[in-house]
């Protein structure tokens, strides 16, 4: 009898994001700047949902919750919105030198106005904290399989074409064989006149960052971070991963070859650290 009063978890597509470096921003007195950037970003995500005519409640609604440096977005069916936002968030915040780590998965969750919990959220958190490692949003097989099933159910005639085009647009495979969101490629395609997407229709959309502008900004910030970054190995490795991703993208798309980041920076930095150690001996 009491079971009918229990809140039942439901299967959802889930995006879980950790905004990296928030503590450092706050310690360095940049709370107001960071708050303004995130406030603009959140408003933009919600505006995109309205443009895509996503309802506030019901089967196709999108649940959003942000607390401190974590963002949780989930939906029973709108996997396309989650992919759009995952790429858009990374593009938009990267222009401010803010990097993200996160995951996309599919699982059961209780998403209530005042709280969110469930096995799906636990899975998303574990993927972000234990598997993502670098500033990337990894895509779990559960998300891909559920996405494929949903496409097959809603687009029976051309489901394979939609699935393949989605993979080519958003997904990249890393050296460790993990699939992650290729936000630089999405930025490139958003400005390709041959690829008309929902993003192309949002003329004033702040997530629409030109790929060359984003790559210029990436190169500038990553070069600075690699030259002057903290001598903390795990932090430095994150910058190295971002550089490798940036360079791999530029090499894959010849028009961006002029924006490669010099890999000798790392060698130069190691030599400088070694010299400093010798001086202080």
Domains along the chain with CATH numbers: 8-209 (3.30.70.1230), 212-279 (no CATH)
Mean residue pLDDT of the chain comes to 81
This prediction's pTM:
0.83
Among left, alpha and beta (phi > 0; psi -120 to 50; other), residue 273 is alpha
Give the per-residue pLDDT at 67: 87
Residue 25's pLDDT is what?
A: 83
- What is the band of 263 on the pLDDT scale with cuts at 50, 70, 90? low
pLDDT tier for residue 256 given thresholds of 50, 70 and 90: confident
d(CA 162, CA 149): 12
Q: List residues bridging with 67 in a β-sheet.
A: 70
Helices (H) and strands (E) in the chain, counts: 10, 8
Contact of 218 with 94, CB cutoff 8 Å:
yes
Burial of 65-95, coded b for 16+ CB within 10 Å and e otherwise, reads: eeeebebbbbbbbbbbbbbbbbbbbbbbbbb
């Amino acid at each position: 009898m009491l079971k009918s009063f229990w809140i039942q978890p439901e299967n959802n597509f889930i995006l879980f994001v950790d905004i990296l470096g928030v503590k450092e921003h706050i310690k360095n007195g940049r709370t107001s700047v960071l708050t303004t950037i995130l406030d603009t970003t959140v408003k933009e995500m919600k505006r995109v949902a309205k443009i895509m005519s996503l309802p506030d409640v019901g089967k196709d609604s999108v649940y959003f919750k942000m607390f401190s440096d974590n963002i949780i977005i989930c939906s029973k069916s709108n996997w396309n919105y989650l992919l759009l936002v995952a790429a858009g968030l990374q593009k938009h915040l990267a222009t401010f030198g803010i990097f993200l780590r996160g995951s996309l998965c599919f699982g059961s969750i209780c998403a209530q106005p005042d709280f969110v919990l469930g096995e799906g959220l636990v899975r998303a958190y574990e993927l972000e904290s234990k598997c993502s490692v670098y500033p990337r949003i990894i895509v779990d097989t559960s998300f891909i399989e559920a996405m494929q099933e949903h496409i097959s159910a809603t687009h029976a005639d051309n489901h394979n074409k939609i699935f393949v085009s989605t993979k080519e647009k958003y997904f990249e495979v890393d050296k460790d064989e993990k699939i992650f969101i290729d936000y630089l490629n999405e930025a490139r395609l958003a400005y390709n006149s041959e690829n008309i997407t929902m993003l192309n229709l949002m003329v004033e959309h702040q997530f629409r960052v030109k790929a060359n502008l984003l790559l210029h900004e990436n190169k500038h910030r990553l070069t600075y971070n690699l030259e002057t970054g903290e001598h903390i190995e795990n932090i430095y490795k994150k910058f190295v991963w971002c550089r490798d991703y940036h360079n791999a993208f530029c090499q894959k798309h010849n028009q961006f070859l002029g924006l490669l980041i010099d890999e000798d920076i790392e060698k130069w930095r190691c030599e400088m650290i070694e010299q400093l150690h010798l001086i202080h001996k």
